[in-house]
């Protein structure tokens, strides 16, 4: 055992990613995998579920009556539940619910299950970690093995070369930050972010910053349009603190991504919400921008106790969230107010831009659809 442990420690120390090191880690985990009763087949999962044996990716697995692979139960006495803060090569940084940090490798069995996902573990995942090795010195993470990944919600992923790349998981909220002055408000740009949010299925909040620079009454019409569509709009000022309590309230206990154009005040808002937060984000982002994993991996930043243990999730990719992987044919479906009309047009492949007898255009003319939102739609649909 001593020798194997040393292998893992050496792999952690050296960092990640060369195939030789990967092989070293793999061997180690296979030994652990064989220790599991389930893989040897002498025990099936409890709770009286019907199970069947099946070979997946070269390993024998148990599947339940609905065809789902049954992962071995984790030993809750020894394992710790935690959140993956970031994934770097083969090592995942996990914050345990006991407040400790873990540097984790992933169990071989889990890797084999993830045949069509590039990352078996992603930032934001809720995982069970089995601590390994000796207690580290103060300030250093404990080593561990990720034994199990809990089911995900709020997944942010991008497609490249027909493969889905997980960027972050368990995101509850996207905060689209816009500025109402300096730079002036660009509602069509906000719509672009909303379209991407619709595509990902994540809940967006529109945060209109710098309201100290305008007459609040001037914002009522534009806030009204988005609110009527069911989008929450928060007018705020990072400078005066206006609206920040409401924003903090929305972040409490949630995993949130901030996005928006440069200069709208994202860093100022993060700092106003929690002093020092923006600096931490900037430092890590500029580090990873130099690295190879720029757009594919995200980093989670734990928020303070006053924010109910929430997290901020960031990557340079999330900040350029506008029209992520959105194709022209899908755009109408992501404009909530267009959906009731799109199937009523004369041409089944109507683009609702130049065609005659278009139910969407009639609805705009009759005032059922806001003309400015329709203009946004046309711009996006025409690839402008
Ligand atoms: N008047 C006013 N100015 C603000 C407010 N929030 C931010 N600013 C100013 O707007 C400028 C841009 O703010 P940042 O926080 O750097 O903007 P950002 O969105 O983080 O920009 P990037 O880092 O480029 O993405 C700074 O000069 C801030 O002082 C506000 O509420 N009111
Ligand atoms: Zn049409």
Q: Domain with 223 in it: what CATH number?
A: 3.40.50.300
Which segments within the chain are labelled E, that is strand?
A: 51-56, 59-64, 69-70, 80-88, 91-96, 101-106, 126-132, 142-149, 156-160, 163-168, 173-179, 203-209, 232-235, 255-259, 299-302, 311-314
Query: How many Å lie between the centroid of ligand 1 and the Cα of residue 264?
Result: 5
How many structural domains comprise the chain?
Answer: 3
Q: Which residues of 131-155 are buried (b: 16+ CB within 10 A; e: fewer)?
A: bbeeeeeeeebbbbbbbbbeeeebb
161, part of any domain: no
Q: Would you say residue 120 lies in a domain?
A: yes
CA distances from 248 to 49, 73, 221 (A): 43, 37, 25
- The answer to the question of whether 358 is labelled as a binding residue is yes
Quote the tokens at residue 323: 């029209």
Domain shared by 264 and 126, yes or no: no
Distance 199 CA to ligand 2 centre (A): 20
pLDDT tens digits in sequence order for the chain, 384 residues long? 444 444 433 433 433 333 333 333 322 222 233 333 333 333 334 444 566 776 655 556 666 676 666 666 788 889 999 999 999 888 999 999 999 999 999 877 666 665 544 468 999 999 999 999 888 888 899 999 998 888 899 998 888 777 778 889 999 999 999 999 999 999 999 999 999 999 999 999 999 999 999 998 999 999 999 999 999 999 999 999 999 999 999 999 999 999 999 899 999 999 999 998 888 787 666 665 554 444 457 899 999 988 999 999 988 777 778 888 899 999 999 999 999 999 999 999 999 999 999 999 999 999 999 999 999 999 999 988
- Is 104 annotated as contributing to ligand binding? no
- Where does a domain end: 297, 319, 341? 319
CA of 359 to the centre of ligand 2 (A): 5
- Does the residue 185 lie in any domain? yes
Classify residue 157: in a domain, yes or no: no
φ/ψ (deg, to 5) at 356: -80, 165
The number of the ligand nearest the C-alpha atom of 356 reads: 2
CATH code for the domain in which residue 351 is found: 1.10.40.50
Q: State phi, psi for 104 to the nearest 5 degrees.
A: -120, 145
Q: Which residues contact 192 (CB under 8 A, 6 or more apart)?
A: 322, 323, 376, 380
- Whether residue 268 has its Cβ less than 6 Å from ligand 1: yes
Residue 156 lies in a domain: no
CA of 211 to the centre of ligand 1 (A): 12
* Ligand 1 mutation target, pool 180, 235, 263, 282, most atoms within 8 A of CB: 263
Domain boundary residue among 281, 297, 319?
319
- Note down the domain range covering 234: 167-319
Q: Is residue 116 domain-shared with residue 55, that is, in the same domain?
A: yes
Q: Is residue 158 part of a domain?
A: no
Is 35 annotated in a binding site? The answer is no
Between CA 10 and CA 21 the distance in angstroms is: 9
Answer yes or no: is 200 within a domain: yes
3-state SS class at 199? helix
């Amino acid at each position: 055992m001593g020798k194997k442990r040393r292998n893992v420690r050496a792999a952690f120390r050296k960092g990640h990613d060369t195939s030789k090191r990967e092989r070293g880690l793999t061997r180690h985990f296979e030994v652990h995998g064989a220790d599991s009763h389930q893989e040897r087949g002498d025990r099936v999962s409890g709770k009286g579920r019907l199970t069947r044996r099946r070979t997946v990716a070269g390993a024998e697995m148990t599947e339940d009556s609905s065809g789902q692979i049954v992962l071995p139960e984790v030993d809750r006495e020894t394992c710790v539940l935690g959140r993956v803060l970031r994934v770097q090569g083969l090592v995942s940084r996990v914050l345990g619910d006991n407040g400790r940090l873990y540097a984790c490798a992933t169990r071989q069995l889990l890797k084999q299950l993830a045949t069509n996902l590039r990352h078996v573990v992603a930032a934001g995942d809720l995982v069970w970690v089995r601590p390994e090795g000796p207690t580290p010195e103060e300030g250093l993470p404990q080593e561990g093995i990720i034994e199990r990944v809990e089911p995900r919600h709020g997944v942010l992923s991008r497609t490249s070369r027909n493969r889905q790349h997980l960027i972050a998981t368990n995101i509850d909220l996207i905060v689209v930050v816009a500025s109402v002055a300096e730079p002036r408000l660009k509602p069509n740009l906000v719509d672009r972010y909303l379209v991407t949010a619709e595509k990902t299925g994540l809940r967006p909040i529109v945060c209109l910053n710098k309201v100290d620079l305008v007459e609040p009454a001037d914002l009522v019409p534009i806030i009204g349009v988005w609110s009527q569509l069911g989008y929450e709009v928060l007018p705020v000022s990072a400078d005066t603190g206006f609206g920040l309590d409401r924003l903090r309230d929305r972040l409490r206990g949630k995993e949130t991504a901030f996005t928006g154009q440069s200069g709208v005040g994202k860093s100022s808002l993060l700092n106003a919400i929690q002093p020092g937060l923006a600096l931490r984000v900037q430092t890590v982002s500029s580090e990873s921008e130099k690295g190879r994993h720029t757009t594919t991996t995200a980093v989670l930043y734990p928020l303070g106790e006053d924010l109910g243990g929430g997290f901020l999730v960031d990557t340079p990719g999330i900040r350029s969230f506008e029209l992520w992987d959105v194709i022209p044919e899908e755009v109408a479906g992501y404009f909530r107010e267009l959906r009731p009309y799109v199937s009523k047009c004369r041409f089944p492949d109507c683009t609702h831009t130049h065609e005659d007898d278009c139910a969407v255009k009639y609805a705009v003319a009759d005032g059922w659809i806001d003309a400015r939102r329709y203009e946004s739609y046309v711009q996006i649909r025409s690839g402008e």
